[in-house]
Structure 1
């Protein structure tokens, strides 16, 4: 009887352990954070932050540099996730480049000044003619989300990838998420559509010295036909055509995107 009771108690403990919810990690906690606006959380279905960051190998304890974070959609996830264990660095525009650039940097600093939420965010400088985003060889991960087309259209995409390579430690990771253009389309479409060919992005990375470590379809969207007169900006969240066919484009959702992981050789 005593033995049966002991076995039953052990089995009950095992079942309780199995049923207990698995504690979410810092990234998952940040994704669920109350500081994120409902409109930003609504985009999780298109941007898949948890799956994307896991695929790219992002985790606490690292120095993570996000280049051109824009309004900070990923800042609101990455900075809290790294707070107290690791470092989040935003590669912002060179404030000496223009009045608007200086203003954007100050606006970013003000928006993310709450250290209780975001910790001590590092500020790096990124832009045409800027060789060092951060101290060379100091980053574990460099990330760029939906930016390559901007640098391509401005004529300095290779310079950007060279800067990423210089910023990373040997063995460090470059993560690229970008609107995806079909390989059969003319190269000229990359200059106007906002979409980029996977082969071209790989070429930029490999020319800088990176090796492709993997690709993921986590941010794919087969509904995206990529043939809009106003380019990728036709789709949400931009809706370049305003209310014209808005329901149609909303039903398509955000763009089809490549998700690539590169490594700086050791």
Structure 2
């Protein structure tokens, strides 16, 4: 009975499609195509979304290819020294949560020594763009902080040393650069463990304005940050200890026109008490205050790296 109903409905809709024996062959072919589309719509309605079922294997194939690509990136010999921290930073899972895909334009805020650059640049591929964005570094900063100056000329050179000619096109910017040429081009902005520096050094406002400028209207911001306890006092979470309260980070982003899409526990570490006198640097790999070979250092090694929030935000109009 159901088959008869399907055939009858299909025939009726097919006959209702415009047709004329006097029309040209090209017009008839176009109408025939329209009729077939009508038939397909009926079958989809009565039998279920066949096209979605047919598309599923294609989507699975794309997902498999991306996973294989990521796996190859993570296992590349150039990451031999980086790989020890994968267990704490979960790069594949984190970038998947941030919905990063090959071919995108991704802004990496304060790439520093290039740990994530060596993942992102090759993963984004030849069709992608990688933009390293650094804050404006004032004259009061020197030594280590000099490595964040003149990013437009410095970062492409650094990237060639990190990954050779593999992967995405590489650009460098500082927040005080002219950003018009890049405005509205970024699919994603990623901030890895830098919110505390943005706050304690007064970079947060300019950085957030630059991020809004660079992002597309539907762009997303991914944040990984050392996480303080919910009830941690403000005196401990202003930036100098590295830890930030998750609710404070969400509130700060809301104030700059971003809404929380989702939070993840990918980078959580419940063994971290997050109240160290010397801040997050008490834990590996810094071990501040715990000499090599000491029992305290061994205890901290067992705890591992810091507890971290992983947040995804969407740019609001």
Fold equivalence (TM over 0.5)? yes
CA distance in 2, matches of 1:134, 1:226: 41
**Matched length:** 242
TM value normalised by structure 1: 0.82
SS of the residue aligned with 2:101?
coil
**Greater relative contact order structure (CA < 8 Å, 6+ sep):** 1
Q: Deviations over 1:79-116 (max 9, x none)?
A: 01113121111113547867755555466444321542
Residue 281 of structure 2 is matched in structure 1 by 233
Residue 15 of structure 1 is matched in structure 2 by none
Q: Residue 173 of structure 2: which of 100, 124, 144 is its match?
A: 124
1:259 to 2:310 alignment: yes
Residue 204 of structure 1 is matched in structure 2 by 252
1:193 to 2:235 alignment: no
Unaligned ranges ≥5, structure 2: 1-63
Larger Rg: 2
SS of the residue aligned with 2:311?
strand
CA RMSD of aligned residues (A): 2.4
SS of the residue aligned with 1:44?
helix
Residue 28 of structure 1 is matched in structure 2 by 71
1:135 to 2:182 alignment: yes
- Residues 125 and 134 from structure 1, CA distance in 2 versus in 1: closer, same or farther, beyond 3 angstroms? farther
CA distance in 2, matches of 1:149, 1:231: 11
Does the aligned pair in 2 maintain the 1:133–1:163 contact within 8 Å? no
Q: Residue 158 of structure 2: which of 108, 111, 115 is its match?
A: 111
Unaligned ranges ≥5, structure 1: 1-21
SS of the residue aligned with 1:205?
helix
Q: Residue 215 of structure 1: which of 247, 259, 263 is its match?
A: 263
How does 1:144-223 map onto structure 2 within 5 Å?
144-191=191-238, 192-223=240-271
- Residues 131 and 263 from structure 1, CA distance in 2 versus in 1: closer, same or farther, beyond 3 angstroms? farther
Does the aligned pair in 1 maintain the 2:107–2:131 contact within 8 Å? yes
Q: Deviations over 1:107-145 (max 9, x none)?
A: 64443215423443111213xx56849722111000000
- Tell which deviates more after alignment, 204-213 or 155-164: 155-164
1:54 to 2:54 alignment: no
Does the aligned pair in 1 maintain the 2:132–2:155 contact within 8 Å? no
Residue 86 of structure 1 is matched in structure 2 by 128
Residue 16 of structure 2 is matched in structure 1 by none
- Residues 131 and 250 from structure 1, CA distance in 2 versus in 1: closer, same or farther, beyond 3 angstroms? farther
- Residues 82 and 46 from structure 1, CA distance in 2 versus in 1: closer, same or farther, beyond 3 angstroms? same
SS of the residue aligned with 1:201?
helix
SS of the residue aligned with 1:46?
helix
Between Structure 1 and Structure 2, the one with more helix by share is 2
SS of the residue aligned with 1:155?
coil
CA distance in 2, matches of 1:95, 1:152: 14
Does the aligned pair in 2 maintain the 1:76–1:118 contact within 8 Å? no
